[in-house]
């Protein structure tokens, strides 16, 4: 892990509308690149921001440095690594982004249980060294191994033994073993042609290998993010297909009540109709709009880093509220 660039500082509770100012480099007061260089990049709705991606620290296939290089090659101007329930890749990602000339926002994607379903909340502009955030994420990761063993038992029951050991071969961080790692093993061992077939036949509700898990509470996730200086965003809302319209409205209502401030409008899994729908909901709930590919792997992700359409001009981009949390490359 790259050395810390900032002096430690205890988190303190701030109103959600205030964003912490980025901290000074040790030994060089007044030279923080965020404060000195803001204005180099015109942060508006046309900014090529990709604020949702995953590395080998969670369930991606590229290391943070390789992921940064791919983002830069795709023309990304403002990037965020948002690994599932883990922030250990943040310092590496930031250093790689800055070296490649990209601006960077620290991020994470927190797993939440809401109305009996799994929902993901992205945190942007977080402090990856914040104690409450790090400890909360560790609790959220707890129980993944037990769940994975139950998933493997379910697959063994339908004639597919060895799945747990197989999935572990794809995991850089065993604490974050997930359905994605099982899916890659099932494809590479010839049980399925691709990961889409995996999730049609296995590992989803009612299919062999599915095991439900209770994650963090919605209020907890938003609290961890905002207390660490970040801003909470509902990730890929169209993917929560089991919600009734009433449950979806309740998700947005409770999220806003807890201090959540954003929603992903442009994301890799949204159709054009869904982008319009969630742009409208962003306006209805007074939420900022985010943009992120949810990139995991070159041969799996449907949307490349930096290739999403621009945010509509009628929306307020989430990054405009995080300008004091952006890390800019040195001149």
DSSP 156-205: HTTT---HHHHHHTT-SSGGG--HHHHHHHHHHTTS-SSHHHHHHHSSST
Q: According to the model, what pLDDT value does residue 12 have?
A: 32
Mean pLDDT computed over 97-114: 97
41-81 per-position pLDDT tens digit: 888 999 999 999 999 999 999 999 999 999 999 999 999 99
CATH number of 48-140+218-325: 3.20.20.140
Residue 13 has pLDDT above 70, yes or no: no
Mean pLDDT computed over 129-157: 92
Mean pLDDT computed over 288-314: 93
Q: How far is CA 232 from CA 167, 188, 318, in A?
A: 31, 36, 10
Q: According to the model, what pLDDT value does residue 286 have?
A: 98
Residue 184 has pLDDT above 70, yes or no: yes
What is d(CA 52, CA 72) in angstroms, rounded to the nearest whole number? 14
Q: According to the model, what pLDDT value does residue 213 have?
A: 77
Q: According to the model, what pLDDT value does residue 40 have?
A: 61
223-269 per-position pLDDT tens digit: 999 999 999 999 999 999 999 999 999 999 999 999 999 999 999 99
Reference 134, options 87, 91, 81, 64; nearest CA is 87
Which overall architecture, per CATH, does domain 144-201 show?
A: Orthogonal Bundle (1.10)
Mean pLDDT computed over 209-214: 84
| pLDDT band, very low/low/confident/very high, at 175 (cuts 50, 70, 90) | confident
Contact 81, 53 (CB under 8 A): yes
Q: Give the percent of the chain with pLDDT over 70.
A: 88
Q: According to the model, what pLDDT value does residue 172 have?
A: 80
Mean pLDDT computed over 296-321: 93
The pTM of the full predicted model, rounded to 2 decimals, is: 0.77
Q: Calculate the average pLDDT of the chain.
A: 87
| pLDDT band, very low/low/confident/very high, at 168 (cuts 50, 70, 90) | very high
Q: Where are the domains of the chain?
A: 48-140+218-325, 144-201
CB atoms within 10 A of CB 176: 21
């Amino acid at each position: 892990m790259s050395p810390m660039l900032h002096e430690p500082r205890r988190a303190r509770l701030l109103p959600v509308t205030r964003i912490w100012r980025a901290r000074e480099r040790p030994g060089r007061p007044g030279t923080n690149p965020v404060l000195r260089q803001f204005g180099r990049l015109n942060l508006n709705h046309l900014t090529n921001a990709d604020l949702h991606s995953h590395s080998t620290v969670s369930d991606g296939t590229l290391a943070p440095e390789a992921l940064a290089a791919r983002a830069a090659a795709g023309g990304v101007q403002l990037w965020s690594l948002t690994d599932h329930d883990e922030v250990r890749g943040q310092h590496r990602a930031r250093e790689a982004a800055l070296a490649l000339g990209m601006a960077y926002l620290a991020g994470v994607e927190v797993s939440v249980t809401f109305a009996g379903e799994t929902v993901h909340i992205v945190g942007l502009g977080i402090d990856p060294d914040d104690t409450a955030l790090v400890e909360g994420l560790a609790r959220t990761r707890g129980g993944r191994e037990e769940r994975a063993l139950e998933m493997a038992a379910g697959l063994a029951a339908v004639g597919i033994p060895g799945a747990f050991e197989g999935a572990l071969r794809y995991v850089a961080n065993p604490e974050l073993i997930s359905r994605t790692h099982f899916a890659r093993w099932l494809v590479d061992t010839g049980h399925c042609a691709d990961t889409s077939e995996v999730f049609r036949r296995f590992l989803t509700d009612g299919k062999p290998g599915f095991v439900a898990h209770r994650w963090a509470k919605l209020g907890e996730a938003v609290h961890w993010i905002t207390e660490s200086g970040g801003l909470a965003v509902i990730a890929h809302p169209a993917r929560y297909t089991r919600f009734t319209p009433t449950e979806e409205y309740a998700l947005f209502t409770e999220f806003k009540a807890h201090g959540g401030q954003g929603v992903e409008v442009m994301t890799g899994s949204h159709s054009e109709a869904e982008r319009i729908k969630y742009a409208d909901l962003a306006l209805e709930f007074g939420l900022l709009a985010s943009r992120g590919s949810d990139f995991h792997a070159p041969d799996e992700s449907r949307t490349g880093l930096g290739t999403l359409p621009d945010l509509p001009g009628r929306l307020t981009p989430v990054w405009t509220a995080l300008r004091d949390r952006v890390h800019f490359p040195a001149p």
